[in-house]
């Protein structure tokens, strides 16, 4: 079987929303009928904590997601182990451009870089973009926690490289869903936040190498349903 792909979520600056995007994107991909694995290599372990809450809610083995939490230096081995069994592997990498983050980028087929509309996020993005380009890995910078009425949003967007057309607004429900172990597409399937995550999921899948998309052609279009874990 071919087509198993790795998406690494990376950003040098902490607090940009890597874990939030990983959790909600992972659930949305499961709802599309894909076999999803997540790897948390961020020492802070926020994604791991979210998944533990999810296990408490749905039961061990019934979260819809295969989950690993490990040291970054082991990520290459773990990716090799998981690739034959999953359609998408999502990696939540640590902040700062250190060895672990570089390894996660090197093992990826697509890099998603969350960027808040602020000068510090914009400046911090350059290091991650440079590594992705050096490793020849496609990247997608995603504006996160956006107030679309802000003039700063337009300024930052113009400065970004490979910017996504998907925008994640500054919505409380993204955090509220995670507090209870949900993805936002489970909590409010038809809400605006869910539509934003679904849009990002579609865009990310389209950006993966073409051979991957062959495996996605028969994906179930269950985007408005509850997750497999909730069925």
CATH of the domain at 120: 3.40.50.300
Query: Is 96 part of a structural domain of the chain?
Result: yes
Q: How many structural domains is the chain composed of? A: 1
Quote the CA–CA distance of 88 and 65 in Å, as a whole number: 10
Judged by phi (left if over 0) then psi (alpha if -120 to 50, else beta), residue 96 lies in left
Quote the CA–CA distance of 50 and 3 in Å, as a whole number: 28
Query: Is 220 part of a structural domain of the chain?
Result: no
Each residue's pLDDT tens digit in the chain (231 positions)?
335 899 999 998 888 899 999 999 999 999 999 999 999 999 999 999 999 999 999 999 999 999 999 988 899 999 999 999 999 999 999 887 667 888 999 999 999 999 988 888 888 888 899 999 999 999 999 999 988 677 777 778 888 878 888 999 999 999 999 999 999 999 999 999 999 999 999 999 999 976 544 444 444 434 333 444 443
Structural domain range at position 198: 5-207
Query: Is 92 part of a structural domain of the chain?
Result: yes
Q: Say what the pTM is.
A: 0.87
Q: Which positions ≥6 away from 226 have C-beta within 8 Å?
A: 186, 189
Query: Is 171 part of a structural domain of the chain?
Result: yes
Q: Which positions ≥6 away from 162 have C-beta within 8 Å?
A: 129, 138, 139, 140, 141
Quote the CA–CA distance of 94 and 39 in Å, as a whole number: 11
Query: Is 227 part of a structural domain of the chain?
Result: no
Query: Is 164 part of a structural domain of the chain?
Result: yes
What's the chain's length in residues? 231
Is the Cβ–Cβ distance between 140 and 110 less than 8 Å? yes
């Amino acid at each position: 079987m071919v087509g198993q792909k790795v998406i690494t979520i990376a950003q040098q600056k902490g607090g940009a929303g890597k874990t939030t995007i990983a959790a909600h994107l992972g659930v949305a991909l499961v709802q599309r009928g894909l076999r999803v694995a997540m790897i948390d290599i961020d020492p802070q372990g926020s994604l791991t904590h979210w998944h533990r809450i999810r296990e408490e809610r749905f039961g061990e083995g019934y979260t819809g997601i295969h989950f690993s939490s490990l040291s970054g230096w082991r990520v290459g081995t773990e990716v090799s182990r998981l690739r034959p069994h999953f359609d998408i592997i999502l990696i939540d990498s640590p902040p700062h451009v250190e060895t672990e983050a570089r390894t996660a980028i090197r093992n990826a087929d697509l890099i998603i870089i969350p960027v808040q509309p602020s000068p510090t996020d914009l400046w911090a993005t350059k290091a991650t973009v440079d590594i992705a380009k050096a490793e020849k890995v496609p990247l997608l910078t995603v504006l996160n926690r956006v107030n679309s009425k802000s003039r700063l949003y337009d300024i930052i967007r113009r400065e970004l490289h490979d910017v996504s057309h998907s925008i994640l607004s500054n919505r409380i429900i993204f955090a509220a869903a995670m507090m209870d172990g949900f993805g936002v597409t489970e909590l409010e399937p038809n809400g605006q936040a869910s539509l934003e995550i679904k849009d990002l999921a579609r865009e990310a899948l389209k950006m993966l190498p073409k051979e991957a998309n062959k495996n996605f052609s028969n994906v179930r279009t269950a985007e408005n349903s509850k997750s497999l874990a909730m069925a």
